[in-house]
Amino acid sequence: MSVKSRSTRWLETHWVNPAYIGWILGALALFFFVAATNTLSGWLYVMSGVIFALLAIAATLSARSLKGIEVARRPIYPVSAGDDITVELLIQNTMPQSKNLLQVSDLIPHRLGEPVVKVMESLSSNATQYWVYQHPTQRRGVYRWQTVRIRSAAPLGLFWRRQDYEIGATAIVYPTVLPLTRCPLIDEMGRESSLQFNSDRRAKTATEGLTRSLRPYRWGDPTRLIHWRTSARYGELRVRELELFTGGQELVVCLDSAAVWESDLFESAVIAAASLYFYAARQSLNIRLWTANTGLLQGEQSVLETLAATYAGEDDRAIALPNLPLIWLTQNSDSLKTLPSGSRYVLWSPQFTEKRSSISPGLVIGQERSLQSQLQDFLT
């Protein structure tokens, strides 16, 4: 920040800063005063005094122009990338005098855009005015800012007065969720889990199998599970508890967020993670998300907020990758060799051509086609 900018800011916030016309009038009043001193002309003294008095009155009134103004902010609802966020500010005048010609600026982050400015012609006494504006978003993220700036040169436009209000704001922009009509990557893993799950259900409804224990009959137990020979021996009904075969019924979308990524490729990976998660949820699969910073989590809002805030190279706070079938989203091809059994991968490395049995099936994302169409491809 230059010396001129710092001095202007200090004057506007601590007292008043002359506007361009204020500097002109000040120079003119000084010129008349010097001329009057040299010529001893009374009318020049009068003109100089009148201008100085006008400047003094304007400076005093401008310094009071922002007293009694209060600003509040309503919460900003999350949106998806590409949609507009809606920002609502409440500007209240608590003084019995009306306020005129106010310049209100919401100092949003530079990543989100330039500050949004509104000019209010009048704010009545003891009144509240609502300012609602919509601002476009381009990329996902969590945007925070806290300054609302009000400037005024009322009533004569000769001096500027500025007041900054520290009112925190948080705008969450979710990543785009692609509308996948099919996804073999998820479908194949879902079928594998479904087969294991169905085997469990068959074990629960079977009339024969490995008996883990016998217990007394409880109301609602199926009669086909009653062990009649033991029941006759004890004189009361006994029910068999069969051994259950447990299998992996969970899928985990893992984003390799601790690694170093190219910026555009990481944004593509975040979009893919969100799209895969919601596609699996629509298929009624037990799906969870894993990132290096948060570990395992579940739930639409939690997943979207985590993906909005994640970034490449973030701190690796998670203990380890879960020992479950994974969908590993990465740019590092070397990490594919250590995936758990039954896992799949989505790799952003078009140069990757290695085909070995030790590497799980997956997708290699290129630049020639859209991400949506590639996520719907069959595995290689």
pLDDT tens-place string over residues 89-125: 999 999 988 898 899 999 999 999 999 999 999 899 8
User: How would you list the strands of the sheet with 69-73, edge to edge?
Assistant: 69-73, 84-93, 127-136
pLDDT tens-place string over residues 227-269: 788 888 888 887 776 544 334 457 899 999 998 899 899 999 9
Mean pLDDT of the region 64-70: 90
pLDDT tens-place string over residues 8-53: 888 888 788 888 898 999 999 999 889 988 888 888 889 999 999 9
**Are 267 and 290 contacting, i.e. CB atoms less than 8 angstroms apart?**
no
Tell me: pLDDT of 181 over 70: yes
Give the residue among 280, 283, 279, 308 at the shortest CA–CA distance from 291. Answer: 308
Beta carbons within 8 Å of 324's beta carbon, 6+ residues apart: 248, 250, 251, 252, 340
Tell me: pLDDT of 318 over 80: no
Mean pLDDT of the region 128-154: 93
Beta carbons within 8 Å of 28's beta carbon, 6+ residues apart: 51
Residue 104 CA to residue 121 CA, distance in Å, equals 11
Mean pLDDT of the region 261-280: 93
- Residue 197's pLDDT band (cuts 50, 70, 90): very low
Mean pLDDT of the region 180-201: 65
- Percent of the chain clearing pLDDT 90 (strictly above): 44
- What DSSP line would sit under 162-228, residue for residue? EEEEEEEEEEEEEPP----S--HHHHHHHHHHHHHHHHHHHHHH-SSS-EEEEEE--TT--GGGB-H
- So what's the pLDDT on residue 319? 66
Residue 143 CA to residue 166 CA, distance in Å, equals 16
**Are 380 and 363 contacting, i.e. CB atoms less than 8 angstroms apart?**
yes
pLDDT tens-place string over residues 336-354: 888 888 889 999 986 665 5
Count of beta carbons in the 10 Å neighbourhood of residue 264: 10
Q: Which secondary-structure segment (H or E) carries 239?
A: strand 238-242
Mean pLDDT of the region 190-216: 51
Mean pLDDT of the region 146-162: 90
Beta carbons within 8 Å of 180's beta carbon, 6+ residues apart: 275, 276, 279, 372, 375, 376
Dmax over CA atoms of the chain, in Å, equals 133
In the chain, what are the domain boundaries? 3-63, 69-174, 206-246, 250-375
Strands 295-297 and 286-291: antiparallel
- So what's the pLDDT on residue 92? 94
Residue type, 293: N
Residue 322 CA to residue 326 CA, distance in Å, equals 8
Helices (H), the chain: 3-14, 20-39, 42-63, 184-205, 228-234, 263-282, 300-309, 371-375
- Percent of the chain clearing pLDDT 70 (strictly above): 86
Decide which of 3.30.360.10, 3.40.50.300, 2.160.20.10, 2.60.40.10 is the CATH code for 69-174.
2.60.40.10
Helix (H, G, I), strand (E, B) or coil at 235: coil
Helix (H, G, I), strand (E, B) or coil at 24: helix
Residue 46 CA to residue 202 CA, distance in Å, equals 106
Q: To 10 degrees, what angle do helices 42-63 and 20-39 make? A: 150
Tell me: pLDDT of 327 over 50: yes
